[in-house]
Structure formats: C-alpha cells, structure tokens
Amino acid sequence: MKVLICDDEANIRNLMKRFLASEKIDSDGAENGLSAQRLLESGHYDALLVDLRMPGMDGLSLIRWVRDKGLHIPTIMISAHGEIRDAVSAMKYGAEDYIEKPFEPEELVERIKSLVEADSIRNVAENDVPSSGFIGESPEILRIKAIIEKIAPSQANVLITGESGTGKEVVAKEIHRLSSVSDGPFMAINIGGVPENLIESELFGYERGAFTGADQRKQGLFELASGGTLFLDEIGDMPLSLQVKILRVLQERRMTRLGGTVSIPIDARIVAATNKDLERMVAEGTFREDLFYRLNVVRISIPPLRERVEDIPLLAGRVIRKYNLMMGMKIMGLTPEALNALKAHPFYGNVRELENIIERAMIFAASEVIDFNDLDLGGAIPREMPQQQAVASEETLSLRDIERNAIIRALHRWEGNRTRTAEELGISRRTLISKIQEYGIDL
C-alpha cells in the first residue's frame, strides 16, 4: 500500500510518514495541491490524505482535479476545528472520509486501511474476476496455494480438512485444474448426502440384475473418474462397512461393479475432504486407521474465515460480481462501516455464510454501495464453533482471560470500532490497541 500525504506543514507530513512506515505503509509527501498533482500524474497511490487549507492549491481544488481527471483514489480530507462545512463539501466532490485535527495517528491508519479495503472490493466487483479458483491473500491461503501448485502435478492422494463452508471443494477443483489430468473429468460425491444403502452402488456401479431394480449396467464414480479426479467429500461420514472396500480400491487401483466378476483398473486421482476430526475418529474406532493414512498422503487444512479476515474484501468483491452478473445489478462495493462489520462477524458458516449475507444485502441495498444497515448479521449459528473459541465460564478463568474476553465481546458489539469499544470499557483508545496486540486478538 502506498499513500500520498498532501499537507503544507513539513512536520505534519514527516510525522505521518514515520507513523505510516511503522505500520509498514509506504508514503510520499506533497507540500500543496500542485506538488500532489505532479506526483499523482507520475505514480500510483492507494490512498490520498489532503489537508483542507494549503497555499497555492488548496485541498478542495485538488479533490476536484482528481475527480475531473477520472482518477479513483480513496481520499481522506484533513480539516481543522470549525471547518466541517468545507469538509462536507469535499465529500461531495469525491472525498470518501474526513478527519478533524487533532487526531490519533492510529485512528487515521485504521481509516486508510478501511477505505483501501472497501476500494479493493469495488475493483474486484468491477473487473473480470473468474468465478472459480481458490482466492485469498492471507499468509495461510498463500501457503495453501503454494502447496496446491507443488502437489497438483503428482498423483498423490490428498486429504482436505476444514469447517463447513471454508471452500474444500474449491480447493479440490483447483488441484484438478492444475494437475496433469486437468483435461479429464472431475467427479464429486458428498458421502453424507447419499443414503447409506446407495453409496456403494454410486461409487462402484453395478451390473444388470445385481439387485431388484438394476435393469441395466451402471458405471460407478470410480470408473467414471478414470483419467481425472474423484472428490470424496465428507469422507468422515463413510460407513465402516464400506471403508474396507474403499481401502482395497486405493491399494490395488482396481474395483469390481456390484454383481460383477470383472476387475476394472482405476486411474483416478483421489481427493477426500472432511469437517470432522479423523484422528479422533480413528482413536474411537469409527474410522479405519489404514484408510486414514492411505488418504492422508498430503494434508491441506483450510482455516475458518474468522482467522483470515484480510481475505474478506477480495471474497466479498467476487461475490458481488457474481450476483451482479446473475441478477443484472450494479452494486459497486461496501462502505467502510459495512466492511468493518463483516470483519468483526464470527462467520461460523465461513465463506458460504459470507455469500449468503452479501446476496441478501444486494437485494435490499438502497444504493449502489452496500451500507451497514443493509447487512443482516443476526443469523450466525455457532453450531460449528471450535471448542477452543468458546468463552469459558468466568469462574474458571484467570484475570487476564476475563479481560481478553471482555475486549472481544465489546469489539463484537461495536462491529470492530475501537473508539466506541474503548469508551465502553472505560479505557483510552491507545490502551485498547495495546491490549489487542498483547492478547493477539484478530477480529
């Protein structure tokens, strides 16, 4: 991220540059609007900070020039006390936000990040982003992408784990897309969604007359996926009686249709997925240990969305573009307030829940930008909330844990707004930020 600071006071520019650098944000300084014009014409900036009163060319004139040039740069107007009317005029000319002097540097950085993230949603929503593919820019997702690229050309079995809605099938399709069998079929079955008495015939197929109603031969998914990839979703729901047969297929790479006698070679890449703890199931005797190790050649664990909130802008932009195309709408993005609310939301349903929330918000949005009031965030169902995420009873917690949980609850109540949270807790904003960093709170 790179920011242009336009302020006629050198000490203000230098102070802001140093603070932004401490936050790993690059920046340039301009002493007035004319200097800013030259920098904007010769370089790219992700955000623009503009002082209202400057000699030569003031902030309002610069913002009008940016608008007339067709440049889209998230802009924050810096105003002194008593200049609110001019700041509101700046908003009309194209500034997205304003902040009044004196201000806390931390608050300014938060506003910059919120505006840039909201702008990234608009860019994704407008541009031709593929509807498929595993997207994200968080460190964990980048690591998963590297693993996919590394293992895709091989034929190794892959086990994908993660909560429901995290995108396990998307990862499976990405492995197939990058594999040497990408021209072959991608066949998928949700084990938990097929009645137990039908799973075997779906996977292995059957010969005519194998059972009542089998009036013709049927190929199973193992056979149909030859030369491609077979995705076994929710493998943890597979009955024990069938697990041994699946193990034999994986070991021998051959299978026999139900009611048949001919051994058929299998040439399909096997990718399995589950939202269950297979290691625990092995220990309890509900999942075969030998099948687990056969499937778990390569393990990809997808983190829940609440642990990678930095991916929400990119995911939200893709969802907006998807439904713009499907519903003939022209939603441009989300306001910073709406984005902050999404980032503070627990998302027990993960990416699937995010898509549902945004689809509904697009339908009810009063303008081309989704606002906080357009979001319905009251329907989160914590049925999959990991045990370690649950807030333990106060009686069993240390004073440190009680303080951490109080901060988390207050942040959720204020949708991540740190100023309001600090006011509720009766501490300064700086103290709150220090506590967030100390406790490693990532909302």
Q: Would you place residue 443 in the very low, low, confident or very high pLDDT band (cuts 50, 70, 90)?
A: low
3-state class (DSSP) for residue 275: coil
Q: What share of the chain is helix, strand, coil (3-state, %, to 5)?
A: 50, 15, 35
Paired tokens of 283 = 């220990």
User: b/e for 255-285, b at 16 or more Cβ within 10 A?
Assistant: bbbbbbeeebebebbbbbbbbeebeebbeee
pLDDT digits (tens, 9 = 90+) for 358-399: 999 999 888 888 988 899 887 555 544 443 343 433 444 567
Residue 139 burial (CB < 10 Å; 0-12/13-18/19+)? exposed
Beta bridge partners of 271: 158, 231
Q: Which has the closest alpha carbon to 377: 398, 348, 397, 405?
A: 348
pTM score: 0.65
Measured CA distances, 208 to 202, 216, 226, 396 (Å): 14, 4, 21, 63
The encoded tokens of residue 116 equal 């840039």
What's phi and psi for 275, nearest 5 deg?
-105, 10
pLDDT of residue 289: 95
CA distance 213 to 16: 76
Per residue in 151-202, pLDDT (tens digit) is: 999 999 999 999 999 999 999 999 999 999 999 999 999 998 888 888 999 9
Answer whether residue 98 shows pLDDT above 80. no
Structural domains in the chain plus CATH codes: 2-103 (3.40.50.2300), 139-301 (3.40.50.300), 306-384 (1.10.8.60), 391-439 (1.10.10.60)
